[in-house]
Amino acid sequence: MPDPSLDVLAIGNAIVDVIARTDDEFLDAERLIKGTMRLIDAAEAERLYGRMPPGVEASGGSAANTVAGLASLGLRTGFVGQVADDQLGEVFGHDIRALGVDFRTPPRNGEVPTARCLILVTPDAQRTMNTFLGASQFLPPHALDEAQIEAAAILYLEGYLWDPEQPRAAMEKAIAIARRAGRKVALTLSDPFCVDRHRDGFLGLIERSAIDILFANEIEIKSLAQQEDLEAAVAAVAMRVPLLVVTRSEEGALAVRGSERADVPAEPVDQVVDTTGAGDQFAAGFLAGQTQGRSLEQSLRMGAIAAAEVIAHYGPRPEADLKALMATSLARA
């Protein structure tokens, strides 16, 4: 295989976020569980939107946010995801291409609109997400560009994509292509409910050694391992994947690679405004560190720095130049 021309190619939902500030009373009235993601249909999306405060629209999607962070860090990236041939699809495509990301998936024609995620941000900076998958759930396996996958050092997969049938098949196909080409495969578990829904699927991937790098937060890793105790969960999963990364919000993060382990604290933040995208940017920082051949600890620190940047403002993608930020922040330590 030739040298990779992309550092990371991600496959994920192509979503435009609609971000609104709200309060706990609104979440209670709507019976929403704070901090989680739920899938909603078109009718519920229309109903909830009609009740929401004014919003701001910004390109989102978990893996797409990670790719945006990687691009800001100077890595060569690509993205695969399905938008519709509509205004929000144009917004998504513009925003990701403007970052220099290689995004080739053709927009889908038809009645089904581009995915949107109604994100309710409470004063405690927590985000509660209501995703209408729209066109995103119809990413067909044939939309994959085989050469693009073969050309990427790391294939990065979003756990959320396991929900709808066609993207799941696309992910399976992409894994097979990457494996054949001798590339690495990373997976993020995305959300505790997503792990609940697809525990067997994810464990199956791990069992057949399809995953080289697994990203999870504390709740997700416990759910995957069905272990109440964090260390027991980490131990159980770490013996099954070559590299495990676990984020723990304000408790920091850890990584285990064989017998090697690193722990880092969270990066200090003046004021946490909106935690949307924290995990996505952590993954970006960590993968950038690994791509640059840095140690586990340094890679974790890069993840923590990228996550700290994104939670200090509204919106799921970096506003600062992460490359410059990384240079100053890493030097300071």
**Contact positions vs a copy of itself (CB under 8 A):** 18, 21, 49-50, 52-59, 68, 86-88, 91, 94-96, 98-99, 113, 315, 317, 319
> Cα 66 from chain centroid?
6
Q: Which residue, among 176, 113, 168, has the nearest Cα to 141 in the 3D structure?
A: 168
Confirm if 8 and 153 have CB atoms less than 8 A apart.
yes
Using CB atoms within 10 A of its CB, is residue 182 exposed (0-12), middle (13-18) or buried (19+)? exposed
Place of tokens 């109604």: 118
Using CB atoms within 10 A of its CB, is residue 126 exposed (0-12), middle (13-18) or buried (19+)? middle
Rg (CA), the chain: 18
Smallest separation (angstroms) from a copy of itself to the CB of 34 = 21
Cβ count near 226 (within 10 Å): 11
Strand partners, 108: 84
Confirm if 174 and 149 have CB atoms less than 8 A apart.
yes
Cβ count near 64 (within 10 Å): 29
Alpha helices in the chain (DSSP H): 24-29, 42-51, 62-72, 87-98, 146-150, 165-180, 192-207, 218-225, 230-238, 278-291, 296-311, 322-332
Please state, in angstroms and rounded to a whole number, the distance separating the CA atoms of residues 100 and 69: 11
Cβ count near 218 (within 10 Å): 18
Q: Which residue, among 291, 297, 303, has the nearest Cα to 248 in the 3D structure?
A: 303
